Structure 1
Amino acid sequence: MKRRVFIKFASASTLLFSSNIVIAKSINKDTLAVLDEVYEILFPKTNTMPSSKEFGALEFLVKNISHKSFDDYDKNLVLDGTKDFHSTFPNFLNLKNKEKKQIIEDIINSNDYAQSWLSKLIYYALEALLSDPLYGGNKKQLGWKSVNHKIGYPRPKLTYGQKI
């Protein structure tokens, strides 16, 4: 990985955190594709755990990021970080898995902004893996089954404090 690539990626963090300009957020097709692929690198299928696609990490994130209670800082970090990642690594989606893993590993080890972005993605993927399926993740309760979780009762009937 070239030094200039990391400098470019790091400079984006300065713009993200110092800008007072409000930008309308919409999740475009490229953003979704990058997020989906990054999630597959971070959460691949193993003998005991489902992949991010199987447990619905991206679906959970998309469903929850658009809710009014979703933290604006997290929303900006996820969306702007993905946009910055895609502009820094425009061929990411065309690379082989080994090359994708190497990029993720390299940015984790050398860039605080990228670490924060990936950390937030991991946080929401773990929520998707272990939350009630009502919230959009944990498809077919695969997350619970993979860790032998006993479901707690009563389970939620509605999301986000809606009245029954």
Structure 2
Amino acid sequence: MKRRTFIKLTSLSPIIINSYMMAKDIDEKIWTTILEVQNILFPKTSKMPSAKEFGSVSYLKQNIDHQTFDKDDLELILNGAKIFAETFPEFFKASKSDKLEIVKQANESEYGNSWLNILVYYGIEAMLSDPIYGGNKFQSGWMALKHKAGMPRPKKKYGAKIDL
């Protein structure tokens, strides 16, 4: 029954994204939902940091305000989080194994699958990007994978000119 509810709500609960919406204007409950789900998608292991540890949400918060961030992706991320929280309110108090089952349930719908895919996409980006962009805290993603960063590393975000 929950999967059907999730599908129905996808058409009824759009968040209107306007060109002036900033990360600071987004309800903290949405960020909490995204982080909780990403922590299931990217759990802490003996070798890998969790989504919280590598800064998945701080990465999103810092980058969604930039003009190059895809507004369709932003709409899917925010609407999906709102709908997920409304459809599965028990998720937030569930055990880790129950949370995984709820995420699997959400993944059964086309919309839920799209939402989870976009969270994985931006989670990987946050884990592996240069820390200047707000993710990969303490280079934890790089260290877990024994990755050596390319040189030169960015000194400013998004190709901004550096004054010499």
1:28-85 superposed Cα distances (whole Å, 9 cap, x missing partner): 1211111111111111111111111111111101111122221110000000000010
Write out aligned runs for 1:112-131 (5 A).
112-131=110-129
Amino acid at match of 1:82: A
Counterpart CA distance in 1 for 2:72 and 2:17 is 13
Counterpart CA distance in 2 for 1:11 and 1:152 is 46
* Count of equivalent residues: 157
Task: Note if contact 2:84-2:106 (Cα within 8 Å) is conserved in structure 1.
Answer: no
Gap runs ≥5 in structure 1: none
**Corresponding residue for residue 54 of structure 2:** 55
Gap runs ≥5 in structure 2: none
CA RMSD of aligned residues (A): 1.7
Amino acid at match of 1:112: E
Please report the TM-score for the alignment, with normalisation by the length of structure 1: 0.88
User: What is the CA distance between 1:137 and its match in structure 2?
Assistant: 0.4
Among 87, 109, 112, which residue is 1:111 paired with? 109
Write out aligned runs for 1:32-51 (5 A).
32-51=31-50
Amino acid at match of 1:155: R
Counterpart CA distance in 2 for 1:23 and 1:69 is 15
SS at match of 1:163: coil
User: Against the structure 1 CA distance between its residues 84 and 70, is the aligned structure 2 distance closer, same or farther, given a 3 Å change threshold?
Assistant: same
1:3-47 superposed Cα distances (whole Å, 9 cap, x missing partner): 2x212211233457xx7x944553212111111111111111111
1:75-126 superposed Cα distances (whole Å, 9 cap, x missing partner): 0000000001011112321111111111001222x21100000000000010
